[in-house]
Structure 1
Amino acid sequence: MRKRIWNHIYQEIGLWSLAARPGILVLVLVILIRMVGGMQSLEWMFLDTMLRLRPAEKLDERVVIVGIDEKDIEWVKQYPVPDGKIAELLTKLETYKPLAIGLDIFKNVPVEPGGEQLAKVWRENTNIISIEKILPPAQIPPPRSLPPEQIGFVDLFNDADSKNRRYLLYTTNPNNDKEDKYSLALQLVTRYFKKKGMELETGKNDPNTIMIQGTELHRITPNFGGYVDINHGDGGLSILINYRNNYQPFHVLSLRDILNQKNQNVYAKLLGDRIVLVGNRNLSGGDIFYTSALPTLELKGQIYGVDYHAHVISQILSTVIDGRPMLHSWGDMGEYTWIVIWGFLPIIIGRLTQSVWKNLFSVGLAGVCLFSYGYVMLWLWGIWIPVAPSLIVLAVNGVGLSAFAFYQHDKFLRSQINERQNTIQHTFTVIHNGPLQTLAYGLKHMRAKDVPYEQLLGQFEKLDREIREIGEFLKLETLTPEESLRLGSGLIIELNRPLHDLLYEVYSSTLERNDFEYFKTLKVKIRNFDPIDDKYLSREQKRKICLFLEEALCNVGKHAQGVKCVQATGVYGASQYKLCVKDNGSGIQSKLENKGTKHSKLLARQLGGEFRRESLSPRGTVCELSWKPTKEF
């Protein structure tokens, strides 16, 4: 029992070592492609898709957008909107007492009339933040009259697919490496939290990030999630944007709404104690960014710049105050361990199912579970796991290489088992037609006590020689590729010869055996075997046909008491070949079906033919095997 278990274990190890190699090769290839950045676009696409499929979130009332749209431009009758109107807008907004105002419009060059009026508004209201662009190649300076505390940069990074997923919170001043520069979003949330009594601190787990009220903002590292060796500014801090998933994530007002002084009570409630962003929400301004992470956009795949900053501000506020998850990842070790697990899973599935349809169903179900798990992890905990490479290695290994390799190798093992079973069956047949016949003859006369002792001794010495000859034959058969057949008489014939020649050999060799007493009473021996085209017969089938003839003749010598005539013929006619042995002996004495009869019926089914064995009138027995030699099996 223990040996059988160990043999099974060794067989499984051998199977895995052969069949799992293609799957492991695919897994290594997928990992290498990911490590050099070949899967970034696919992983970004899956990230956007899962973000887009999240349930709708409620509107964030802490952020309000005042957008200058096309109707505002028509109302003002000037573009860009002059500084005087911007100053008037900011002054009106200040009356509603917002915590901070972000002006997302470049004001490095005055737009008259009203330049001095706008400068005065800036000087009198320190909670207003203006913007600049600091990173090459196109740098845009801030208004000259503003101190650094009232300036935030709006430089953004595009991914290789032109989508905007990252936001730079702060970075080193490219013109002065001893000075840090802060983004518009970070300047505004800093003022918001200070008014609420919260200070920005250095992270504890990650000293390179910001911590607010014990919550650290997860920064983008060079190999963050699906990114590979990503650049996020020298000494800078970038975060992955977790867009607020809503058709209207923020309250949006227009310039003319504020300046027309309508609904004052409503605006006081809407704008008081809020972060207000003022910017262009028109196509003329060209302040457009791209994303696929939002399902309902006014401009398909596009988002206004002021909305972009609003999403980042809302994300930070929601993370610190509401506990909304911020997007982060497992890190390299966790991600590649995950990919390896999903690379080996389809190999295991292929080994267990070993069926094309079962394998397809199992791999498809596993793929749905993988995507669902990645979606839930992103939605509930904000964890971006490597879904795309895991799905690829699952699909390739599950549907393709591993299942095919296991199927082919298992097919090979099954063929080996069948070959072993055929060898065992053939060995039994050789023993049955040789030594067992000799043993039966000896036992019969021992019981009857009708032969001398010396004659019985000779029979058992013959039995000893036959058994030894069978052992030598089996050794020879395992060492040589030549297909051969050993008859009970000890004669070895080559199976690559024509079938009718083999039948003549079997007939002559069997009837010359002197260990069957009823062969001695034969007076007439008739044999005739028509030649046929045996190209559709395998050597194994030819072997079984020869053994059938030998078995039928041995039965005559063993059971046909009083036999005088035996006739063995192979006749081809009416597209059918009939191999028949007739005798005029005592006929069938027992209706029990022995092993020889069972084997003959099995052979007939394999050949697509028929077998019959019955008594003749008035005396004799017929044993016949028929099949169509033109049929391919």
Structure 2
Amino acid sequence: MTGGLQPLEWMFFDTMLRLRPQEKLDERIVIVGIDEKDIQWVGQYPVPDEKIAELLTKLETYQPLAIGLDIFKNVPVEPGAEQLARVFQKNTNIIGIEKVLRPGEIPPHRNLPPEQVGFGDLVHDNDIKNRRYLLYTTNPANPKNEKEDKYSLALRLVSTYLDAKGINGGAGKNDPNTIMINQVELPRITKNFGGYVNVKNDGLYILMNFRNNSQPFHVVSLRNILNDKNDEVNQKLLRGRLVLIGNRNMSAGDIFYTNGVHTLELKGVIYGVDYHAHVISQIISTVIDGRPMLGSWGDIEEYTWIVIWGFLPIIIGRLTQSVRRNVLSVGVAGVCLFSCGYIMLWQWGIWIPVAPSLLVLAVNGVGLSAFAFYQHDKFLRSQINERQNTIQNTFHVIHNGPLQTLGYGLKHMRSKDIPYEQLLAQFEKLDKEIRELGDLLKLQALTEEETLRLGSGLILELSRPLHDLLYEVYSSTLERDSFENFKTLKVKVRNFEPIDDKYVSMEDKRGICLFLEEALCNIGKHAQGAKRVQASGMYAESKYKLSVKDNGCGIKSKLENKGTRHCQAVAKKLGGEFRRESISSRGTICELTWIPTKNFRF
């Protein structure tokens, strides 16, 4: 709609034109090209009027239908100016050129009447490539005078040829602003036409349908005509034909750019006289031979076409249900799309939108595939993380629950210092804890409830405030009878300041609660002789410190067990620090410190 895809659409258009099968040479048009060897032969450039007059006179002896002189003759080139003027006055089938488009208008030769003048202006697109041809326009110097319509060189020559065949033209029926010849309307380039958006519309433009051939027309040189060589051949070649005379040398600068023909003498460059010849051949071939002109759909048809190709990859994605198959199917659909555009252009002369259709196909196909792949990968990662969390949580439940009960029972089995009935009760408790653990894991697999099971068997709702959870962990852990060191405690101090829930997620709460449980369990297992335990959580210099202190025997081993590594992992996830060390006098401190605002989640 904004024209952003025009360059891409033009590229596809040029490519499809080049891919068409080669066409036969058009015998109706002959080009007399003035090449570099002609200039050397003449010995003067520009070629003097004398030689041009001599050339025109010689050509007239071969009885061509009309001669188009694609050389500006507004300024005399002596010698021979008067001689050329007499030739123009004598022969009414010679069409000269002028330039009418601004800037730089160039008038025709003064001895040519208006009906023997056609403009030679060629219009290029924004990429400097020539794909359009202006057939007629209102004189820019006098736009309000309808009688001042200007006709192109090609249209003048086409009219002469068709009049000789008894074929007349007029205004179009479906589009009164175009020309209809022999019931064939020439498709006019409108404001939005094919791949064009907001194109300048100051006359009747048609789209170029180049004749795809390494030699689309017969080309003879100026010296070949003037040397009186091959008169019989030239007579047969030129009689009743349309003859175009123009420069076919680089020094003249009469060159234009196109990628629509791959068999050009110079890649991407076409001579101006050849360009006019292609237009003449295009119109005559359409009217007489049925060769299609190039047109386009209306806006409704084009938008419908684009929307269809937008929905197609969505349907493909539904059917394939596979990223790889979807990308492959979209690739095949893209080839089919380009093929449809090519066939429509080649067989019926319809330029359909390929670039926007291909873009929406790629975005909805590859883009949705990439999104689906991302979502699938994200789902797999979430599943892996969920399983890892389940395994980790299971380890903590087993470590702080059944394993502690088992360790307590094994210790007293070896020392044989408790009655059999009491030992049996411990193992019955272990059996119950393991069974409860299995039920808990089944429940967590079936529900998304955010809960935490402590080693004591207590299940906490993680949606509760963190400080309430810490109180629950503290009380529940110290009440466990499987830790003998808890029995010697005389002083128990606890104080947990609240933290706003927006600063901690449920996973953070889980890790913090397990840290506190692990720290307390370590006291129960290793703090022999401890009489005092202090658990606190408080703010200090914008940091929250959660610490557990005891006055037991202190740390005896520097090896890091799984519990210590878990505490370190919790600290890393919170962006904080963890330390566990002996106190100088007596006892151990286990501390987790972090800045709550760092974990703020919007």
Structure 1 position 404, deviation (Å): 3.5
1:319 counterpart SS class? helix
Trace 1:398-417 onto structure 2 (pairs within 5 A): 398-399=365-366, 401-407=367-373
Structure 1 position 229, deviation (Å): 0.4
2:241 to 270, 274, 281: 274
Q: Tell me if the contact between 1:354 and 1:407 (Cα under 8 Å) persists in the aligned partners.
A: no
Residue in 2 that maps onto 1:488: none
Unaligned runs of 5+ residues in structure 1 are 1-34, 420-469, 486-490, 503-507, 509-534, 540-633
2:283 counterpart SS class? helix
Q: Residue 296 of structure 1 aligns to which amino acid in structure 2?
A: T
Residue in 1 that maps onto 2:536: none
Task: Say whether residues 1:306 and 2:286 are aligned partners.
Answer: no
2:133 counterpart SS class? strand
Residue in 2 that maps onto 1:284: 251
Q: Tell me if the contact between 1:101 and 1:275 (Cα under 8 Å) persists in the aligned partners.
A: yes
Q: Tell me if the contact between 2:341 and 2:351 (Cα under 8 Å) persists in the aligned partners.
A: yes
Residue in 2 that maps onto 1:96: 62
Task: Say whether residues 1:119 and 2:85 are aligned partners.
Answer: yes
Task: Say whether residues 1:136 and 2:113 are aligned partners.
Answer: no
Trace 1:115-514 onto structure 2 (pairs within 5 A): 115-177=81-143, 178=145, 179-233=148-202, 236-399=203-366, 401-407=367-373, 480-482=449-451, 493=459
Trace 1:523-542 onto structure 2 (pairs within 5 A): none
Q: Tell me if the contact between 1:168 and 1:232 (Cα under 8 Å) persists in the aligned partners.
A: no
Question: Residues 390 and 262 of structure 1: is their aligned pair in 2 closer, same or farther, counting only changes over 3 Å?
Answer: same
Q: Deviations over 1:125-153 (max 9, x none)?
A: 11100000011110100011111000000
Trace 1:53-132 onto structure 2 (pairs within 5 A): 53-132=19-98
Q: Tell me if the contact between 1:347 and 1:403 (Cα under 8 Å) persists in the aligned partners.
A: no
Q: Deviations over 1:413-432 (max 9, x none)?
A: 9999999xxxxxxxxxxxxx
1:176 counterpart SS class? coil
Q: Residue 256 of structure 2 aligns to which amino acid in structure 1?
A: F
Q: Residue 168 of structure 2 aligns to which amino acid in structure 1?
A: E
Residue in 1 that maps onto 2:557: none
Q: Tell me if the contact between 1:354 and 1:403 (Cα under 8 Å) persists in the aligned partners.
A: no
Q: Tell me if the contact between 1:218 and 1:326 (Cα under 8 Å) persists in the aligned partners.
A: yes
With the length of structure 1 as denominator, give the TM-score of the two structures. 0.61
2:293 counterpart SS class? coil
Structure 1 position 39, deviation (Å): 0.8
Alpha-carbon distance in structure 1 between the residues aligned to 2:105 and 2:309: 46
Q: Deviations over 1:294-351 (max 9, x none)?
A: 1111111101110010000000011111111111111221112111111221122223
Residue in 1 that maps onto 2:2: 36
Question: Residues 244 and 474 of structure 1: is their aligned pair in 2 closer, same or farther, counting only changes over 3 Å?
Answer: same
Question: Residues 483 and 336 of structure 1: is their aligned pair in 2 closer, same or farther, counting only changes over 3 Å?
Answer: farther
Alpha-carbon distance in structure 2 between the residues aligned to 1:262 and 1:483: 106
Residue in 1 that maps onto 2:11: 45
Question: Residues 416 and 69 of structure 1: is their aligned pair in 2 closer, same or farther, counting only changes over 3 Å?
Answer: closer
Q: Tell me if the contact between 2:323 and 2:372 (Cα under 8 Å) persists in the aligned partners.
A: no
Question: Residues 45 and 479 of structure 1: is their aligned pair in 2 closer, same or farther, counting only changes over 3 Å?
Answer: closer
Structure 1 position 262, deviation (Å): 1.4
Residue in 2 that maps onto 1:628: none
Alpha-carbon distance in structure 2 between the residues aligned to 1:160 and 1:331: 23
Q: Deviations over 1:91-113 (max 9, x none)?
A: 11111111110000000011111
Alpha-carbon distance in structure 2 between the residues aligned to 1:479 and 1:293: 63
Alpha-carbon distance in structure 2 between the residues aligned to 1:79 and 1:416: 79
Question: Residues 115 and 407 of structure 1: is their aligned pair in 2 closer, same or farther, counting only changes over 3 Å?
Answer: same
1:246 counterpart SS class? coil
Structure 1 position 268, deviation (Å): 1.3
Give the root-mean-square deviation of aligned CA atoms.
3.7
Q: Residue 231 of structure 2 aligns to which amino acid in structure 1?
A: Q
Alpha-carbon distance in structure 2 between the residues aligned to 1:42 and 1:405: 26
Alpha-carbon distance in structure 1 between the residues aligned to 2:365 and 2:69: 54
Q: Residue 89 of structure 1 aligns to which amino acid in structure 2?
A: L
Structure 1 position 355, deviation (Å): 1.8
Unaligned runs of 5+ residues in structure 2 are 387-438, 463-469, 471-475, 477-481, 483-506, 512-602
Alpha-carbon distance in structure 2 between the residues aligned to 1:257 and 1:479: 93
Q: Deviations over 1:486-543 (max 9, x none)?
A: xxxxx9856999xxxx9xxxxx9xxxxxxxxxxxxxxxxxxxxxxxxxx9xx99xxxx
Q: Tell me if the contact between 1:96 and 1:271 (Cα under 8 Å) persists in the aligned partners.
A: yes
Question: Residues 483 and 338 of structure 1: is their aligned pair in 2 closer, same or farther, counting only changes over 3 Å?
Answer: farther
Q: Residue 164 of structure 2 aligns to which amino acid in structure 1?
A: K
Q: Residue 71 of structure 1 aligns to which amino acid in structure 2?
A: K
Q: Tell me if the contact between 1:318 and 1:324 (Cα under 8 Å) persists in the aligned partners.
A: yes
Structure 1 position 481, deviation (Å): 2.5
Question: Residues 414 and 127 of structure 1: is their aligned pair in 2 closer, same or farther, counting only changes over 3 Å?
Answer: same
Q: Deviations over 1:198-224 (max 9, x none)?
A: 111100111110000000100100111
Q: Tell me if the contact between 2:450 and 2:461 (Cα under 8 Å) persists in the aligned partners.
A: no
Q: Tell me if the contact between 2:451 and 2:459 (Cα under 8 Å) persists in the aligned partners.
A: no
Alpha-carbon distance in structure 2 between the residues aligned to 1:67 and 1:479: 84
With the length of structure 2 as denominator, give the TM-score of the two structures. 0.64
Q: Deviations over 1:340-399 (max 9, x none)?
A: 111221122223223221112111111111111111111111111111121122122211
Residue in 1 that maps onto 2:434: none
Q: Tell me if the contact between 2:122 and 2:133 (Cα under 8 Å) persists in the aligned partners.
A: yes
Q: Residue 336 of structure 2 aligns to which amino acid in structure 1?
A: C
Structure 1 position 266, deviation (Å): 1.3
Structure 1 position 407, deviation (Å): 4.9
Question: Residues 322 and 484 of structure 1: is their aligned pair in 2 closer, same or farther, counting only changes over 3 Å?
Answer: farther
1:103 counterpart SS class? strand
Structure 1 position 225, deviation (Å): 0.7
Residue in 1 that maps onto 2:408: none
Q: Deviations over 1:400-456 (max 9, x none)?
A: x3123445667889999999xxxxxxxxxxxxxxxxxxxxxxxxxxxxxxxxxxxxx
Q: How many residues align?
A: 423
2:295 counterpart SS class? coil
